Amino acid sequence: MREMDPSEEIEFEREMMSNENLLIEVESLRSTFNKVKKLPIKQAPADILKKVRERAVLDQQRQLRSSYKLIGWFGKSVAAVASLLLLISAVLYFFNLEVTSNPHNSTNLLNTSSIQPWVDRNEIIKISDRTNTTQAERIIADYEKSFEKLIPINRVETTSNQRQGVLLTSSPVNQ
């Protein structure tokens, strides 16, 4: 029936060449399709068409009425739930606002002197398991050498835009 795209058609023809049962089935379907195509087109009687049309209109109107009832009930219930949620959230918001704005309520305040910052002091380099031992040793050596490349500058000439202090760099400056 020429409904396949060209790549599917080629693949299907290959399959028909290798499968004899498929070839017989396709040929019988083509023969049936060609016979049906040759049949004359008959029009249904006007009174039958009119009854089918009226019946379809009535069915569609009945379905629309039932869907309007369902949508109306569903829409009203969704609006009620949304209104209820809005009311609850507004009450909670204003209630919490009054609690936090009260200066005598110190239970919400944290004692910052007892809080210690967490500092990760682990200097871990993860080396892929796909590197061999010599590559891993070379990477570790380069990592350890990288700290030696930093040179402290003893004499720093500052302008008004620069900050004074210790400056570490990997390129030597006139010292």
**Residues 134, 146 contacting (CB under 8 angstroms):** no
157's tokens: 């000439």
- Per-residue pLDDT tens over the stretch 119-151: 556 666 555 556 677 877 887 888 788 777 666
Tell me which residue of 154, 144, 159, 147 sits closest to 175, measured CA to CA: 154
Whether residue 116 has pLDDT greater than 80: no
Whether residue 167 has pLDDT greater than 60: no
Pairing type for strands 151-152 and 168-169 reads antiparallel
pTM: 0.27
For 12, residues 6+ apart whose C-beta sits below 8 A from its C-beta are: 4
Q: State the average pLDDT over residues 33-51.
A: 90
Whether residue 50 has pLDDT greater than 90: yes
- Per DSSP, the three-state class of 105 is coil
Query: In angstroms, rounded to a whole number, what is the distance separating the alpha carbons of residues 30 and 39?
Result: 15
Average pLDDT of the chain is 76
- Per-residue pLDDT tens over the stretch 55-97: 999 999 888 888 777 777 778 888 889 999 999 998 888 887 6
pLDDT at residue number 47:
92
pLDDT at residue number 35:
92
Name the residue ranges covered by the structural domains of the chain: 1-42, 53-101
How far is the CA of 39 from the CAs of 33, 34, 49, in angstroms?
A: 10, 9, 21
pLDDT at residue number 111:
56
- Per-residue pLDDT tens over the stretch 14-27: 999 999 999 999 99
Percent of the chain topping pLDDT 90: 26
pLDDT at residue number 130:
63
